[in-house]
Amino acid sequence: MKITSARVIVTCPGRNFVTLKVETDQGVYGIGDATLNGREKAVVSYLEDHVVPCLVGMDPGRIEDIWQYLYRGAYWRRGPVTMRAIAAVDMALWDIKGKMAGMPVYQLLGGRSRDGVMVYGHANGSDIAETVEAVGHYIDLGYKAIRAQTGVPGIKDAYGVGRGKLYYEPADAALPSVTGWDTRKALNYVPKLFEELRKTYGFDHHLLHDGHHRYTPQEAANLGKQLEPFQLFWLEDCTPAENQEAFKLVRQHTTTPLAVGEIFNTIWDCKDLIQNQLIDYIRATVVGAGGLTHLRRIADLASLYQIRTGCHGATDLSPVTMGCALHFDTWVPNFGIQEYMRHTPETDEVFPHDYHFDQGELFVGDTPGHGVDIDEALAAKYPYKPAYLPVARLEDGTMWNW
């Protein structure tokens, strides 16, 4: 069996997605996701110019060898562009292997560790009252876990406040829009949100919060300490993780569980965090961390230290990544939770899939492969649209972490 061609498909049914379709001489094909929010053209160029030509003639069954070829064979390796290109190939090859075997990918990984995958949704509001109402809406939909974000008085366009109730897309303009940030105002306001949520809904549901890299280690520790009475499932991205030792200071001062990793690309980005037990959940993704082949290694390392998975699952990941993530989640022994931001109906039509939501959990089907396809004719009706993520500035104009 040989790879005969590989094609990159870019479509924008509400947001941009980069899909790789790998075809073989036996008529079996697989698809993978290489979406990189706001940097789609970079990963398309890398795939078309540097990856696709190398794939033709290769045996698609040699998944591990092809992964090593694309990773070790590139002298300038790692980074979001390279690893997403590798991830797209890896997903497509697992899809092909599953189809050839007549088995869903989770069976190839080792079979089920659970029946359903607990997911969390995003409840957002311009203020505390709106967010409390949004959390109630997710509870009514059957969610057992909800991430709660609120606008903060005096902060322009605060992170996490979406433009819709279920579909949140932050990439909103052809050039980056400017949002505001004030840490002191957030520290004085966010704990009040969770106080009100527990007062309203009690402690039966898991609550999560995303700091989105906005806090210094000391500020993050302060926030985690204030949130302890409300028993969060986790505090996510409380401080930038380029300096992994920063989490030591946070860990020393709060027992609120910590999660990080959605922007990580390899096991090296989280090695020290895991080995020093500075986090409780690792959030690396199938698409961001080089595919299923490499994400399994990250999960295995984490399991040695009783750290669980909590894969990123926002709308900047296509249904292809979500399908692969759910096969991974169904298998991985040290599973924690899966983020689930719903795609628009247009996206779901372009990417037909066999996973479904029921009572706070997602369930994969038994379609051979990863169970997600692409309707190329429909995809062609949604051409690429330039879209950047926003940037953030402090009140005095200083650039900050978005």
Count the alpha carbons within 13 Å of 100 in the hemisphere toward its beta carbon. Answer: 20
Query: What residues contact residue 3 under an 8 Å CB cut-off, 6+ apart?
Result: 22, 23, 24, 55, 56, 57, 58, 59, 60
Q: Which is nearest to 230 in space by CA: 260, 249, 254?
A: 254
Among 212, 213, 327, 353, the one annotated catalytic: 212
Using CA atoms, how far apart are residues 127 and 106, in angstroms rounded to an integer? 41
CB 309 within 8 A of CB 9: no
In the chain, the amino acid numbered 66 is: I
Q: Which phi and psi angles does 162 have, rounded to 5°? A: -80, 175
CB 348 within 8 A of CB 47: no
Among 29, 159, 340, 382, the one annotated catalytic: 159
Q: Which is nearest to 193 in space by CA: 161, 170, 165, 221?
A: 161
CB 253 within 8 A of CB 239: no
Using CA atoms, how far apart are residues 241 and 247, in angstroms rounded to an integer? 8
List the alpha helices (DSSP H) in 234-383.
Answer: 246-253, 271-275, 292-303, 319-331, 345-350, 376-379
Q: Tokens for 352?
A: 């037909």
Active site residue 159: yes
Helix (H, G, I), strand (E, B) or coil at 88: helix
Catalytic residues: 159, 212
